[in-house]
Structure 1
Amino acid sequence: MAPLRVGYVREHFSSPLLQFAEEDQGKTFTLVECPSGTGQLISRLTNDEIDVVIALTDALISGIAKGSKAYKLVGSYVTSPLNWAVVTGKSSPFNSIADLIDTTIGISRHGSGSQTMAFVMALQQGWSPTTLKFQVNNDIKGLINSVNDSSTSAFMWEWFTTKPWLDSGEVRFVGSIPTPWPSWLIAAHPSPKRAPKEAVRGFLNSLTGYVTKFDSQDSRESTNVSFIQKTWGCPEADIKEWMSTVKYTNDCATISSAVLSEVLRILSTAGFIASPEGATKVVQSIFVDTEVARII
């Protein structure tokens, strides 16, 4: 059996996955980095470049809601919210989220978390979703360039990942929008030829061990800080602040029915997706591969 191709975004959230990969040495899975984020992960799933992804909850769920057959949800990863910084250019005229109404927002790709969270921001601000305008800028570098050349007013990206550019003075933060749901889920291609159920279950069970160890109090107080510092070069104070906000699942092979329902409710209210029709169990079967994951 060929190793699973696992797509991921190289951020501090990926630390337990990277530790697992170091020990696995490609025997059961190989990592495929997707720096543009969840939109790129979904695209590569569709194009048969990867088999399994760890990606943002809202973008994964909205992708299925909009008709994607390239994956189903198979597990959970990070159970705490993601804090999205709202980022503008160093010399832009925008000083608050309210200033961004009727402007063009930068996103990495259509269907990405940077786009879904713009709809959540609009919902919170009372803006009509039909007025939202977007420009695709592919990755963090393109997004930063766009707010500084004024082709976009702002973009949204995870707070601590973006903070180095804030610290260097290249961008300014005008606010933040935490996700109203747990931030990261795991999905896999539904075909057993691409992602054999037994292999995916084995991957999730093993990943649970690394996640549980990383999430333990002992690791939080010792090895986590040095690992993140060595891997990404983040300042120790930022790492400790991030560690105080993040929480991982204790079982990677589960999906919360409450989370699924809440994401669908908020994104349909925000105007990003149409609310799916059907009884709860029917809807869940559309989104979750129940041959792999337990719905709780």
Structure 2
Amino acid sequence: MPLRVGYVKEHFSSPLLQFASKDGGQTFTLFECPSGTGQLISRLTNDEIDIAIALTDPLISGIAKGSQVYKLVGSFVSTPLNWAVITGIKSKFQDISELKGTTLGISRHGSGSQTMAYVMALQQGWPTGDLKFQVNNDIRGLIDSVNDNSTSAFMWEWFTTKPFVDAGEVRFIGSVPTPWPSWLIAAHPERTSPEAVTAFLTRLSTFVRAFDSEESRVQKNVDFIKENFGYPAEDIEAWLKTVSYPQDCSAIPTKVLTDTLSVLEKAGFVVAPKDGFKVDDFVDSKVVKLT
């Protein structure tokens, strides 16, 4: 039975889409999760997918908060994600510093849009216990909320949001890059066999390496993303200068886990147990290579 792989249909997922096109559903099928990592985790929980390619911080924080429905099995993107801070086209807010004490829009509780709000608060020196949120499900709901003033701002990946800025629907008032590599891979530890997950990651790695090559970056990647996502070539070229992928998708640097947990703990989003976090609790040791 093919693996059920959940993903977010964004430019980051291009190597996965190329892999899926070649595989033709023989070993895995894709399940799009437009609301992001919160939806991916929910689908893992509800036995709707077996593997999720999702944002680093919500995946790690979910396990830190006690989730047993998935373990980390690999890496997908090795560079940070640039989160734009976005407000309404006619809103009064002009700078991140003005957002203190306001209600921020998020897609779901436990999503990247929420965890990064804590990181932003940490950077700004705000009390994280005072943060207020409104759940708006997806980017359309988030855009509507900043324009009807039910929220002050929301956070979403920069290049994904730029077309809405270019169209005059919202405004950028800043950005907060993640202090960690942006995408990891998780799998349900009991619904999937280590052999099937390893085989998936091994083949995914070949497509990731091909996409990440200097040769592909010159034109092939630009053409693929333009065709599949409709972004202008200059935006694609600018994004490609900021992103890199791992050589081996089944490997996770231990530092990614420890550094992410450290920041999330300082931000007040997770609370460490008395004896501290143990890296082995976060990974499926039958699959992943900790480096």
TM value normalised by structure 1: 0.97
CA distance in 2, matches of 1:274, 1:295: 23
The answer on 1:231 being equivalent to 2:228 is yes
Q: Which residue of 2 aligns with 1:256?
A: 253
CA distance in 1, matches of 2:186, 2:285: 12
Structure 2 unmatched ranges of 5 or more? none
CA distance in 2, matches of 1:252, 1:14: 13
CA distance in 1, matches of 2:131, 2:38: 18
Judge conservation of contact 1:265–1:275 (CA < 8 Å) in 2: no
Q: Which residue of 2 aligns with 1:245?
A: 242
Query: What is the 5 A alignment of 1:1-296?
Result: 2-191=1-190, 194-278=191-275, 283-296=278-291
Q: Structure 1 stretches (4+) deviating beyond 4 angstroms?
A: none
CA distance in 2, matches of 1:57, 1:46: 17
Identity across matched positions, percent: 65
- Amino acid aligned to 1:288: V
How far off its partner does 1:278 sit? 3.8
- Amino acid aligned to 2:203: S
How far off its partner does 1:285 sit? 1.7
CA distance in 1, matches of 2:7, 2:275: 32
How far off its partner does 1:161 sit? 0.2
- Amino acid aligned to 1:255: I
How far off its partner does 1:101 sit? 0.3
How far off its partner does 1:275 sit? 2.0
TM value normalised by structure 2: 0.99
CA distance in 2, matches of 1:266, 1:259: 11
User: How many residue pairs were aligned?
Assistant: 291
How far off its partner does 1:70 sit? 0.8
Structure 1 unmatched ranges of 5 or more? none
- Amino acid aligned to 2:59: L
Root-mean-square deviation (Å): 0.8
Judge conservation of contact 1:6–1:51 (CA < 8 Å) in 2: yes
